[in-house]
């Protein structure tokens, strides 16, 4: 039988459109929640029908009026009834039902060309829904959650908190029993990995096993919640959402300065910052009254979109891209809604309009940002003048970094230790002691003549016409006369210094204002000047000139020079002075890598290259100088030298010993180490770091862009507002809304989405799958919650607890539901294989960062320092070969930073670290609400061959070989307890013992291979280690580190 909607309403073309739409309505199945029986007597629209219509009908017959076909709308009941597609209670009169049961090729839904058919069960479900009255329901996620009653259950003794009552109530209604509690070893490993991302130590596991106190587990929960590593664990999914990376993504994918934002997130979770405050500070911390530096750092969230400085890029195009990215990110992160398609047209599945999309974007129209971050002719702001591919991405703030301050303190302590250790030789050996005494006398005589510690030595200029000596020892410079050849880009001046014979450790160059140049340090019409210096030693005896190198150099006034967004450190021989400071004297210092000893008549030849310096003065010092702003060294040294050795303070003694090492290099190894440590200290930038932040400016006009076309200027101009179908922000004054209003609205009591969305994500983190499984979309394209009452209860609990994240986490991990065994019982394999009803605990693989952390932790290599700049683990050579603008060479960390946690790994958007990529970490080019979990051969190969894992295996093996043990069986058992938190089983021991003996034979015949193995990684090899035996055990450890159980929490 074929029924028609009505000829007066549908012509043949529109009729065909309806057929196609209804086809898509029926393709994907019933939308029933997992574990539910489709033969249930009660059919609910949200649970059973909405997903069918959303997935297959709403694209042509949903909210998007501009693309609606045949005038038929199926997302609203009244509109569906108007066209008689649905006649409530009368399936025999409903065109929808007629089409799905039709045998006619032209009318059957789905049509044959779609190659899709409905199952009899699906057809029957739709028929019975219409027969029951075709009732619609408001979408569950858009209804404000109310706290439901906690259900009464029969097995009340199993219930530990309300979570269990909801879960058990569902299980009992289906005749399913929950699983028993998991064994204590597995439970503590699960809890530790979930709350900190780190495995428990064997000692912690055994202590928990032996603790019979009923409160023992809660103590473990509290201990781990209080751990500073809890914040690192919780930060990872948040950093995925906000797309935190170290690079900008587009074009050259240059570095950006943002790591303090990551530290802020870790600290916020550790301090249990209320989630509403966490929201406000990130979206609008700069709009708070008197914002703190950390609240400004938090606004880096608004700057984490991808950016470009590509030549030829259109600023307005990229401003539109940045705005759209912010809308998508805010919508997914807080609203659990995918607004992306509303960039071009009204949403096809949910009630979001294109106007809603751009109105949300208007909240961020005041964020100060440039479309293209480079000094091109069309750059819209002169603040970018001179900026290149190497520059940072303003605006930024300089803040204290506790990590950098701690690191600087440790480095300075190491310098003191190196100097002290070297100095012990002075006191114990007659020759060095006498040389030190002589140096003290010579140094005091020098300082009596040159109290500042700097000597302006007799100097001759090779360019006397262009560099004229002045009475104060300076030289007035002028441009040399032009020759027939092209004028040089910079003018070269050569000076021959003739200091008395003895030691020279440092050179100082001053750029001085001069009346000839109007009181400026710059000659001619130049606004600024670049100064470059090189030095050579000319022997009076042989006439030979030897180039000299510097260990350190710095200037007190300079335009910062960058390499891929980071200030250049270490040895720099050139400075560009700031045009704003051209009236001020400017000083630069150079310290030789080893002090230079001049014989009588030797000359120090200094070449200065400058494109604008007007007046300069050169001085030398027999003492080490690495701070151009330091002015008291001479006085401090003189006071220390005048004090009798037995009366000197420890500070005075250390100052003299350091000056002696710098000034004579008497212990070359100690001096080289000290100079290297000083360069590391310089990298700490005084314990401070820059971070991108949000600055508010006059809002840019925002308009609806037709089809997302940034060049379309015909769309309506919009002001900040939230989606019209949701409760509106309080704004009695009718003023323009700000980001602060948006942040408050997101966590307002009347907002139905934010609490549900966060709770659902947290549930996934601890139980493997969300209560509603689609993390980025709780809308019509999402999933009906398997436990809707539980989701609402948790959302209300979260909100009413003051947005207390740790409270919510503790509720979840204290529950009996969380503590269940993770073994799938045979009777559940068919009725609930995906464990949506939670009658057992789902095991799951660790995320990429924690796979690496786990291996380093069990090997004893993991560096547990909190915070700080991103680290650079081992990476294949040449991986960055195609990373350009600027070209880059990856340098792996060569100190303990190599072993820092994965959350701190350098995140290169376009060339993400291979280990992270192999274990499904996202590039973070877009907001990511849920990582995929794939099982691939590349993962096994990574665990076997990545230097990090090979090194972890050999260090772990070394600890087994060097520890006292009575047998190989004991070593294998210890290995299992370290890696898996359990003893080895007999069959595992037998297999590994056989493998161990085969590897012993292999390395006995190939000892060179054993030696090669111990060159992987930078961890030192203990002296006297039996490398062949340790290599055999390394093979065993590589096997165990590659087990699925090792990288899975059960």
pLDDT tens readout for residues 773-789: 999 999 988 999 999 99
Q: Are strands 603-610 and 530-538 parallel, antiparallel or unpaired?
A: antiparallel
Looking at residue 857, its pLDDT comes to 99
Question: Is residue 388 predicted with pLDDT exceeding 90?
Answer: no
Q: What is the spatial distance between Cα 808 and Cα 756, in angstroms, rounded to a whole number?
A: 12
Residues 840, 819 contacting (CB under 8 angstroms): no
**Residues facing residue 563 across a β-bridge:** 566
Residues 106, 84 contacting (CB under 8 angstroms): no
**Residues facing residue 607 across a β-bridge:** 494, 534
Quickly list H helices, 83-119: 95-101
Tens-digit pLDDT profile for residues 458-481: 999 987 778 889 999 999 888 654
Looking at residue 759, its pLDDT comes to 99
Residues 383, 102 contacting (CB under 8 angstroms): no
Question: Is residue 534 predicted with pLDDT exceeding 80?
Answer: yes
> Exposed, middle or buried by CB within 10 Å (0-12, 13-18, 19+), for 208?
buried
Looking at residue 582, its pLDDT comes to 64
Q: Are strands 550-555 and 586-598 parallel, antiparallel or unpaired?
A: antiparallel
Per the model's pLDDT, the better-predicted residue between 113 and 787 turns out to be 787
Q: What are phi and psi of 148, to 5 degrees?
A: -80, 165
Residue 810 corresponds to which tokens in the numbers above?
A: 């503790």
How many Cα atoms sit within 13 Å of 925 on the Cβ side?
11
Mean pLDDT of 493-499: 93
Looking at residue 523, its pLDDT comes to 66
Question: Is residue 894 predicted with pLDDT exceeding 60?
Answer: yes
Q: What is the spatial distance between Cα 825 and Cα 837, in angstroms, rounded to a whole number?
A: 13
Residues 669, 399 contacting (CB under 8 angstroms): no
**Positive or negative, the Cα torsion across 1037, 1042, 1046, 1047?**
positive
The beta-strand segments (E) located in 570-701 are 574-576, 586-598, 603-610, 615-621, 688-692
The beta-strand segments (E) located in 326-469 are 396-400, 459-461, 467-469
Looking at residue 488, its pLDDT comes to 46
CATH of 454-479+489-630, one of 1.10.10, 2.60.120, 3.30.70, 1.10.3470: 2.60.120
Tens-digit pLDDT profile for residues 856-865: 999 999 999 9
Mean pLDDT of 406-423: 95
Mean pLDDT of 148-156: 97
Q: What is the spatial distance between Cα 2 and Cα 248, in angstroms, rounded to a whole number?
A: 58
Looking at residue 83, its pLDDT comes to 79
Q: Given pLDDT bands bounded at 50, 70 and 90, which one contains residue 493?
A: confident
Q: Given pLDDT bands bounded at 50, 70 and 90, which one contains residue 944?
A: very high
CB contact set of 551 (below 8 Å; sequence gap of 6+)? 571, 591, 592, 593, 594, 675, 678, 679
Q: What is the spatial distance between Cα 929 and Cα 777, in angstroms, rounded to a whole number?
A: 9
Q: Given pLDDT bands bounded at 50, 70 and 90, which one contains residue 17?
A: very low
CB contact set of 472 (below 8 Å; sequence gap of 6+)? 456, 617
Q: Are strands 615-621 and 562-563 parallel, antiparallel or unpaired?
A: unpaired
Q: What is the spatial distance between Cα 832 and Cα 703, in angstroms, rounded to a whole number?
A: 49
Q: What are phi and psi of 668, to 5 degrees?
A: -55, -40
Residues 51, 784 contacting (CB under 8 angstroms): yes
Q: What is the spatial distance between Cα 546 and Cα 594, in angstroms, rounded to a whole number?
A: 13
Looking at residue 887, its pLDDT comes to 85
pLDDT > 90 fraction of the chain, expressed in percent and rounded: 71
Q: What is the spatial distance between Cα 79 and Cα 62, in angstroms, rounded to a whole number?
A: 10
Question: Is residue 699 predicted with pLDDT exceeding 80?
Answer: yes
Q: What is the spatial distance between Cα 124 and Cα 110, in angstroms, rounded to a whole number?
A: 15
Residue 414 corresponds to which tokens in the numbers above?
A: 């190491």
Tens-digit pLDDT profile for residues 603-662: 999 998 877 677 889 999 999 998 888 899 999 999 999 999 999 999 999 999 999 999
Helix (H) or strand (E) holding 534: strand 530-538
Residues 781, 332 contacting (CB under 8 angstroms): no
Q: Given pLDDT bands bounded at 50, 70 and 90, which one contains residue 482?
A: very low
Looking at residue 212, its pLDDT comes to 94
> Exposed, middle or buried by CB within 10 Å (0-12, 13-18, 19+), for 125?
buried
Q: What is the spatial distance between Cα 155 and Cα 180, in angstroms, rounded to a whole number?
A: 13
Looking at residue 732, its pLDDT comes to 83
Question: Is residue 379 predicted with pLDDT exceeding 80?
Answer: no
Q: What is the mean pLDDT of the chain?
A: 89
**Positive or negative, the Cα torsion across 746, 749, 750, 754?**
positive
pTM (global) more than 0.85: yes
- List for the chain the helix, strand, coil content (%; round to 5): 45, 10, 45
pLDDT > 70 fraction of the chain, expressed in percent and rounded: 90
Question: Is residue 30 predicted with pLDDT exceeding 70?
Answer: no
Q: What is the spatial distance between Cα 673 and Cα 414, in angstroms, rounded to a whole number?
A: 10
Domain locations in the chain as residue ranges: 12-137, 156-227+763-831, 231-399+695-748, 400-452+632-681, 454-479+489-630, 945-1049
Looking at residue 377, its pLDDT comes to 60
Helix (H) or strand (E) holding 567: strand 566-567
Question: Is residue 521 predicted with pLDDT exceeding 80?
Answer: no
Q: What is the spatial distance between Cα 334 and Cα 756, in angstroms, rounded to a whole number?
A: 9
Q: What is the spatial distance between Cα 685 and Cα 688, in angstroms, rounded to a whole number?
A: 5
Tens-digit pLDDT profile for residues 798-846: 999 999 999 999 999 999 999 999 999 999 998 999 999 999 999 999 9
Residues 582, 528 contacting (CB under 8 angstroms): yes
Tens-digit pLDDT profile for residues 591-615: 999 999 999 999 999 998 877 677 8
Residues 309, 247 contacting (CB under 8 angstroms): no
Of 88-97, 452-461, 978-987, where does mean pLDDT reach its minimum? 88-97
Residues 404, 868 contacting (CB under 8 angstroms): yes
Q: What is the spatial distance between Cα 141 and Cα 352, in angstroms, rounded to a whole number?
A: 14
Q: Are strands 475-477 and 615-621 parallel, antiparallel or unpaired?
A: antiparallel
Per the model's pLDDT, the better-predicted residue between 730 and 947 turns out to be 947
Tens-digit pLDDT profile for residues 700-750: 999 999 999 999 999 999 999 999 999 999 888 889 999 999 999 999 999
Looking at residue 35, its pLDDT comes to 36
- Cα maximum dimension of the chain: 116
Quickly list H helices, 833-913: 848-859
Q: For 714-743, give the DSSP string.
A: -SPEE-S---TTSPPPP-TT-PPP-HHHHH
C-alpha dist (Å) from residue 620 to 500, 572, 586: 11, 18, 16
Tens-digit pLDDT profile for residues 544-594: 999 999 998 888 865 555 555 555 444 445 556 655 556 778 888 999 999
Looking at residue 48, its pLDDT comes to 86
CB contact set of 176 (below 8 Å; sequence gap of 6+)? 828, 831, 832, 837, 839
C-alpha dist (Å) from residue 99 to 3, 4, 130, 468: 8, 10, 14, 100
Residues 457, 499 contacting (CB under 8 angstroms): yes
Q: What is the spatial distance between Cα 603 and Cα 289, in angstroms, rounded to a whole number?
A: 62
Per the model's pLDDT, the better-predicted residue between 722 and 60 turns out to be 722
Looking at residue 352, its pLDDT comes to 95
**C-alpha closest to that of 456 among 512, 381, 402:** 512
Looking at residue 511, its pLDDT comes to 84
Residues 61, 72 contacting (CB under 8 angstroms): yes
Residue 234 corresponds to which tokens in the numbers above?
A: 């919780």
């Amino acid at each position: 039988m074929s029924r028609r909607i009505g000829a007066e309403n549908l012509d043949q073309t529109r009729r065909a459109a309806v057929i196609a739409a209804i086809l898509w309505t029926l393709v994907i199945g019933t939308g029933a929640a997992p574990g539910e029986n489709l033969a249930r007597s009660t059919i609910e629209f949200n649970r059973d029908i909405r997903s069918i219509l959303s997935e297959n009908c709403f694209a042509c017959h949903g909210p998007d009026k501009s693309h609606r076909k045949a005038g038929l709308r199926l997302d609203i009941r009244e509109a569906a009834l108007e066209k008689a597609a649905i006649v409530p209670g009368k399936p025999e009169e409903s065109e929808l039902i007629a089409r799905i049961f039709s045998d006619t090729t032209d009318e059957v839904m789905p049509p044959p060309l779609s190659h899709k058919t409905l199952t009899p069960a699906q057809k029957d479900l739709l028929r019975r829904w219409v027969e029951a009255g075709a009732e619609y329901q408001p979408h569950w996620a858009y209804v404000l959650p109310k706290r439901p009653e906690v259900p009464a259950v029969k097995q009340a003794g199993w219930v530990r908190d309300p979570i269990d009552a909801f879960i058990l109530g569902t299980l009992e209604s289906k005749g399913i029993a929950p699983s028993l509690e998991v064994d204590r070893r597995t439970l503590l490993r699960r809890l530790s990995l979930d709350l900190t991302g780190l495995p428990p130590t064997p000692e912690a596991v055994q202590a928990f096993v032996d603790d019979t106190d009923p409160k023992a587990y809660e103590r473990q929960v509290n201990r781990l919640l209080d751990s500073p590593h809890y914040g690192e664990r919780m930060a990872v999914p948040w950093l995925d959402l906000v797309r935190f990376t170290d690079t900008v993504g587009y074009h050259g994918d240059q570095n950006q300065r943002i790591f303090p934002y990551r530290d802020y997130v870790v600290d916020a979770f550790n301090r249990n910052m209320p989630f509403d405050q966490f929201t406000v500070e990130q979206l609008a911390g700069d709009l708070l009254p008197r914002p703190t530096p950390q609240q400004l750092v938090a606004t880096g969230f608004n700057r984490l979109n991808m950016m470009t400085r590509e030549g030829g890029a259109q600023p307005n195009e990229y401003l539109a891209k940045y705005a759209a990215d912010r809308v998508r990110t805010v919508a997914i992160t807080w609203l659990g809604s995918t607004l992306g398609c509303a960039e071009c047209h009204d949403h096809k599945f949910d009630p979001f309009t294109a106007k809603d999309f751009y109105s949300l974007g208007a909240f961020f129209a005041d964020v100060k940002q440039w479309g293209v971050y480079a000094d091109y002719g069309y750059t819209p702001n002169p603040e970018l003048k001179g900026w290149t591919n190497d520059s940072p991405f303003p605006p930024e703030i300089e803040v204290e970094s506790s990590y950098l301050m701690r690191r600087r303190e440790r480095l300075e302590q190491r310098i003191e230790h190196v100097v002290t250790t070297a100095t012990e030789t002075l006191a114990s050996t007659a020759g060095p002691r006498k040389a030190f005494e002589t140096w003290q006398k010579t140094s005091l005589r020098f300082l009596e003549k040159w109290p500042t510690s700097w000597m302006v030595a007799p100097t001759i200029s090779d360019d006397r016409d262009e560099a004229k000596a002045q009475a104060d020892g300076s030289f007035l410079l002028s441009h040399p006369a032009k020759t027939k050849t092209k004028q040089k880009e910079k003018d070269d001046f050569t000076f021959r210094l003739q200091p008395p014979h003895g030691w020279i450790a440092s050179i100082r160059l001053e750029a001085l204002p001069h009346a000839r140049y109007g009181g400026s340090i710059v000659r001619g019409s130049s606004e600024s000047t670049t100064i470059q210096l090189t030095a050579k030693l000319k022997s009076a005896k042989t006439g030979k000139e030897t180039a000299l190198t510097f260990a350190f150099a710095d200037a007190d006034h300079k335009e910062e020079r960058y390499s891929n967004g980071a200030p250049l450190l270490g040895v720099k021989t050139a400075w560009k002075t700031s045009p704003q400071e051209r009236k001020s004297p400017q000083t630069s210092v150079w310290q030789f890598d080893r002090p230079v000893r001049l014989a009588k008549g030797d000359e120090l030849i200094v070449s200065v290259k400058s494109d604008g310096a007007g007046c300069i003065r050169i001085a030398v010092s027999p003492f080490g100088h690495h701070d151009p702003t330091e002015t008291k060294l001479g006085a401090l040294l003189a006071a220390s030298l005048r004090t009798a050795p037995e009366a000197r303070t420890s500070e005075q003694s250390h100052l003299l010993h350091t000056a002696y090492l710098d000034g004579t290099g008497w212990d070359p190894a100690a001096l080289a180490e000290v100079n290297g440590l000083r360069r590391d200290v310089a990298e700490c930038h005084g314990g401070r770091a820059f971070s991108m932040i949000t600055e508010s400016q006059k809002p840019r006009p925002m308009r609806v862009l037709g089809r997302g076309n940034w060049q379309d200027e015909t769309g309506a101009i919009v002001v900040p507002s939230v989606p019209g179908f949701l409760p509106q922000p309080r704004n009695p004054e009718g003023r323009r809304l700000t980001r602060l209003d948006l942040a408050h609205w997101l966590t307002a009591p009347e907002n139905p989405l934010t609490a549900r969305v966060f709770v659902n994500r947290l549930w996934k983190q601890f139980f493997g799958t969300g209560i509603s499984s689609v993390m980025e979309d709780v809308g019509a394209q999402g999933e009906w919650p398997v436990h809707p009452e539980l989701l609402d209860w948790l959302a209300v609990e979260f909100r009413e607890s003051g947005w207390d994240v740790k409270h919510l986490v503790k509720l979840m991990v204290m529950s009996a539901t969380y503590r269940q065994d993770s073994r799938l019982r045979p009777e559940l394999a068919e009725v609930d294989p995906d464990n949506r009803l939670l009658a057992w605990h789902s095991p799951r693989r660790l995320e990429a960062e924690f796979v690496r952390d786990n291996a380093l932790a069990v090997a004893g290599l993991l560096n547990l320092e909190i915070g700080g700049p991103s680290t650079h683990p081992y990476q294949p050579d040449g991986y960055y070969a195609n990373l350009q603008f600027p070209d880059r060479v990856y340098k792996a960390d060569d100190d303990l930073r190599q072993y820092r946690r994965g959350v701190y790994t350098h995140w290169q958007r376009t060339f993400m670290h291979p280990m992270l990529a192999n274990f499904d970490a996202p590039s973070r080019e877009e907001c990511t609400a849920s990582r995929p979990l794939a099982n691939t051969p590349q993962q096994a190969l990574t665990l076997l061959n990545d230097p990090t894992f090979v090194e972890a295996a050999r260090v772990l093996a070394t600890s087994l070989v060097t520890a006292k043990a009575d047998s190989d069986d004991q070593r294998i058992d210890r290995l299992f307890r370290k890696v898996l938190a359990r003893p080895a089983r007999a069959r595992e021991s037998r297999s590994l013992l056989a493998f161990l003996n085969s590897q012993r034979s292999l390395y006995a015949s190939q000892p060179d291979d054993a030696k090669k193995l111990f060159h992987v990684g930078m961890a030192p090899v203990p002296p006297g280690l039996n490398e062949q035996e340790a290599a055999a055990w390394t093979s065993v450890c590589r096997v165990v580190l590659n087990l699925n159980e090792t990288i899975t929490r059960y």
